[in-house]
Amino acid sequence: MSERDRMRIGVPKETAANERRVALVPDAVARLVKGGFQVAIERGAGVSAACPDAAYKAAGATVADRASVLQGDVVLHVQAPTAGEVSQYREGGAVVATSFSGGDGSLVRQLAQRKLTAFSLVLLPRITRAQSMDVLSSQATVAGYKAVLIAASATGRFLPMLVTAAGTIPAARVLVLGVGVAGLQAIATARRLGAIVSAFDVRPAVKEQVQSLGATFLEMAIEEHAETAGGYAKELSEETHRKELAFLANAAKDADIVITTAAIPGKKAPILITAAAVEGMKPGAVIVDLAAETGGNCELTEPGTEIVRHGVVILGPVNLPSTLPLHASQMYAKNLSAFLGHVIQEGQLRLDFEDPIIRDTCVTHAGEVRKT
């Protein structure tokens, strides 16, 4: 295959505020180049993730300006591009990002007007073949880990039990609400730091996973089925949710740290900790709300900031994966590489819309908006 015939992959520098990740790291670039791709990286794209331009050049990439990178056959982003960038893509090309959702849908319409084939990786189906591409899981792993570190820094307590000449200090009690990938990582990290951990989820099937990490699973009798076919938690009935709130308010009373991770795909995050529940917590307790970006699991959460209510510190961090940019980027790059290996064959996009991976992730194609 001649140099001219090789598919060109472009990786621009992320422009979203406080975004430090990069779509490809040098190791991933080296594998793609070996696989027959040309890769162009915007100057400085990986610096915040400890990936200097020299490392990309050594991996076989070309370091170029933004305009040149955006003309690639396939352009890879972490965050969605801005509306102003769409006109800079090669018409008929492809673009991949975590998500293109939000706002009024104008970005998706612009992508379609440019005849771009756009893939949103948050829409990947939860099937075995897609596990290596699962960006939600890889980035939730980062968020769950970092949430515990933030909580440990914010609390006025040690996490492990300490026996000292000044007396014995009991271990902190950590309560994790929502036992998906982020919740499991939070449990594991808090346990490694020596805390006593308990966890709650409306899906009883996760009990064994919680116990395998050395935590206590808090069981509440839920008569309705609380899990979707895809394995996600689903919205509860009003009466069951009322019982759930009372149950969790009682559980939170004894917690030194509460980490909330509950989410319902495509919907506002469910409220798990009410204002009244916060009032009933210990002075000095800490809540880290990982659902802050979708409304928050705590009724009092303010996204992107720290507040104190009734002596309880409430943190609503946003985009936590970006705060560990090196490993978050490494994981994301592996997800992207696996996805590209699936949708590109013999240097061409493979658009079999009978394939659930392609069908579910393709947002626009050939001038058509397929998903909003």
Q: Active-site positions?
A: 126, 131, 134, 137, 232
Taking alpha carbons only, the member of 302, 199, 206, 303 closest to residue 255 is 199
188 phi and psi angles, rounded to 5 deg: -60, -40
d(CA 187, CA 209): 10
Residue 45, CB-side half-sphere exposure with 13 Å CA sphere: 30
H or E segment to which residue 332 belongs: helix 325-343
Residue pointed to by tokens 């180049």: 33
Burial environment of residue 325 by CB neighbours within 10 A (0 to 12, 13 to 18, 19 or more) = buried
d(CA 195, CA 108): 45
**Strand positions, DSSP E, the chain:** 8-11, 38-42, 62-64, 74-76, 94-97, 117-120, 162-164, 167-169, 173-177, 196-200, 216-217, 257-260, 286-289, 306-309, 312-315, 344-345, 348-349, 362-365, 368-369
What are 41's two structure tokens?
A: 């990286």
CB atoms within 10 A of CB 212: 11
Torsion of CA 32, 36, 41, 46, to 10 degrees: 10
Altogether, the residues listed in the chain come to a count of 372
CB atoms within 10 A of CB 352: 10
H or E segment to which residue 90 belongs: none
What are 1's two structure tokens?
A: 């295959």
Residues 16-50: b if buried by 16+ CB within 10 A, e if exposed: eeebbbbbbbbebbbbbbeeebbbbbbeebbebbe
